[in-house]
Every structure is written in structure tokens, then in C-alpha cells.
Structure 1
Amino acid sequence: MRQHLQHHVADKFSRKLRFFKGLVSQPKTVGAIVPTSVYMARRMASVANPASGLPVLELGPGTGVVTKALLRRGIEPQKLVAVEYSPEFCRHLRDELPAIRLVRGDAFRLEDTLGALRTTRFDCVISGIPLLNFPVSSRVRLLEDVLSRIPKGRPFLQFCYGLSSPIPPGHGQYSVTRFGIEIRNIPPAQMWMYRRTG
């Protein structure tokens, strides 16, 4: 039991160390001060539907906390496409989760970044990208892009530390819904759900 606890503590420390290395190397692309909590990861992963048969697209997986929650949800590794910009996080994800389909690139240029996967239809999109670091116009373009890659009615889920939606309503044919707040995250974070309406 003691050995298991020591391993758990060491693993948690190692994950935080990798997170901070990624934060230092790419400050604009990391939106948190500590990795996402497992509680919020589980809540975010809950929107994925393994029974759909479609892959899930994750943007900005970071250290892979939500990625692991998606796998526990029942998404098969080969049906999980993760787009990560940070080389540090990519190295970590390749070591820790070698079976997922990891793509190193810019989520704001998905057509180029996805390459051979650019025509893939996804069940949903889950994002940890720090959208508040980017102009509103870029956020709206990203939303419109990802909504065109999932069936109408399926969600794009984003977490954010701001008080209001990082993608404001009224800039396109999409709805904005507060999915919830996770106070056990540090700092507390809100989750926002977007769906296509047009």
C-alpha cells in the first residue's frame, strides 16, 4: 500500500513538472497554472459518445488528463485524435499514451494540421486551448471550423477560467450553454458547450 502511494505521489509530481516545463516553453498556448483536475476531466469526457463509432477530436490535451478520461469513458485509442502545439507536451503524450493518434500542430489551422484526417467526421470536440489568449475573431473561426467537422447537435466543449463564455454568442450560427463549473479544479474553471444552429 505504501509503495503504491509513493508511486502515485511520484507520478503526480512528474505530471506537474512536465506541465510546468510546457508552460515555460510555450506560455501563450498553456491556459492553466496547474494541470486540469481529474474531476473536471471526467466531466468533460462525459460528453463523448463511444457508441457513435466516430472518433473524438481533442484540442490542446496538454499532459493528457482529459485524454485519459476519454479512454476510461470507452473511446478506443485509435479513435482519439489529439492536436497539441507544444513539443514538450507532445513528447510526454507519445511516451505516456502511444496508442492515441497524436498530431503536433496548430488547432487554429486544422485543415493543414489534420492532414490526411482533414475530412474525418468526429463525434465531438473537446478543447483545453487557452482561448482567452487569442482574439475573438480567431476563437469564432475555430468554433465554426470544428462545428463543421461534427454532426449537427453534437458539442464542442471548452473549459475556461473567465466568468463568461470565451466565444461570445451572436457572432455566428451557434448556441452557447454553460455546461458547468468545477470548483475542485485549481483555479475553479467553467465549461462551455457550443452547438451549431444553422
Structure 2
Amino acid sequence: MRKALSQRFDEEIRFFKGWIDKPRAVGSVVPTSSVTARRMASVIDTGSGLPVLELGAGTGVITKAILERGVKPEDLYSLEYAPEFVSHLKQRFPRVNVIEGDAFDLDTTLSHLPDLVFDSVVSGVPLLNFPVPRRIAFVEHVLDRIPAGRPIVQITYGPMSPVPPRRGNYTVEHYDFVVRNLPPAQLWLYRRPLTS
């Protein structure tokens, strides 16, 4: 119990420092709660045989929940923009495919994996820090990496979907409102519609 509290405190300090250094790249002053992380990981289909893509991995709270969901470390690709978080993630999760790069430029960031298809995408990218056209482009490009009907789950702290509906080839669905998060978090799902 004491070790868990100490680790949580270390994560919060590291996250706060990241927020101070790069406020646009970090969406909150404190890391996502474990309750929220588990809820986000619950969208993963562990029986699909496909790997999972995590965007904006931060200190690894959501990474841990994805692994606890049953995803093998070798089947998890965790992308993070901040170099200090990347080194922390590599140390904490040595078997996870931790990649330093820009979630808004997946073609470059994942250029060594051009044909890899993911089951789903778990995103902690702070979309509200970016203009709406970039958010729409983000969702469209990420959806190109997963099968139609499979979700991107996105955390946000605003009341509305950070990616507006009816602006592209995707559907928008409210997934959950998690009070046990600081600040309380909204979870949204984006999917490429299934064609009949």
C-alpha cells in the first residue's frame, strides 16, 4: 500500500513537471485516475488478435490498465511526445513498444510500421489544446489504422466531444462520465462507420 502511494505521488510530480514544461502537450495537471484508465481500456477486444495503439501515454497509468486488461506488452504500441515521459515509460514497461513521436503525424511516427492494423486506439492526447480542424484530421488519420467499427476512446475534460460530429467519415458516441478523476473526465468513442 505504501509503495503504491509512493509510486502514485511520483507519477503526479512527474506529470505536473511535464505540464509546467509543456502545457500544450499535457492535458491535465495530474495523471488520469486508475478508474478512468480501466474504463478506457475496457473497449479493447483482447480476442481480436490485433495489437493496441495508445496515444499520449504520459506516465503510464493508462498503459498499466491496458496491460491489466490482458494485452501482451509486445502487442501494445505506446506513443508519447515528451522525451522525459518516454524514458520513464521505457524503464517502467521494458517490453512495451514505447515510441517517441507526434500523434498528429502518425505516418512519420509509425513509418517503420506502415501496414500495422490495430484493434483499437486509447487516446490521452489533449485534443482541446488544438484547433478543431486538427482534431478532425487527427481522428480521420487514426481511424485509418483500425478496422471499421472498432473505436478510438478519447479522454477529455470539456462537456462536449472534442471532435464535432458530422464533419468527416466517423461517428461520435459518448461513452462515460467518470467523476472519480481530477478533474472529472468525459470519454468519447469515434468509429469509422460499417458499410452495408
TM bucket normalised to smaller: over 0.9
* Residue number among 151, 164, 174 corresponding to 2:160 in the alignment: 164
Q: How many corresponding residue pairs?
A: 194
Corresponding residue of 1:6: 2
Between stretches 15-24 and 135-144, larger displacement belongs to 15-24
The 4+ residue runs of structure 1 with deviation greater than 6 A are: none
Query: C-alpha distance in 2, partners of 1:59/1:11?
Result: 22
Corresponding residue of 1:61: 57
- Please show how residues 9-158 of structure 1 align to structure 2 within 5 Å: 9-158=5-154
Query: C-alpha distance in 2, partners of 1:183/1:145?
Result: 30
Q: Secondary structure at the match of 2:153?
A: strand
Query: C-alpha distance in 2, partners of 1:117/1:25?
Result: 30
Match for 1:134: what amino acid?
A: F
Question: What is the TM-score when the length of structure 1 is the normalising length?
Answer: 0.95
Question: What is the TM-score when the length of structure 2 is the normalising length?
Answer: 0.96
Query: C-alpha distance in 2, partners of 1:7/1:82?
Result: 25
Instruction: Quote the offset at 1:8 in angstroms.
Output: 2.1
Residue-by-residue CA offset, 1:47-86 (whole Å, 9 max, x unaligned): 0111111000000010111110000001000110011001
Q: Secondary structure at the match of 1:193?
A: strand
Structure with more helix by fraction: 1
Q: Secondary structure at the match of 1:107?
A: coil
Instruction: Quote the offset at 1:24 in angstroms.
Output: 1.9
Identity of paired residues, percent? 51
Residue-by-residue CA offset, 1:65-118 (whole Å, 9 max, x unaligned): 111000000100011001100111111101111110011000100000012112
Runs of 5+ consecutive residues of structure 1 not aligned to the other structure:
none
Residue-by-residue CA offset, 1:111-131 (whole Å, 9 max, x unaligned): 000121122000001100000
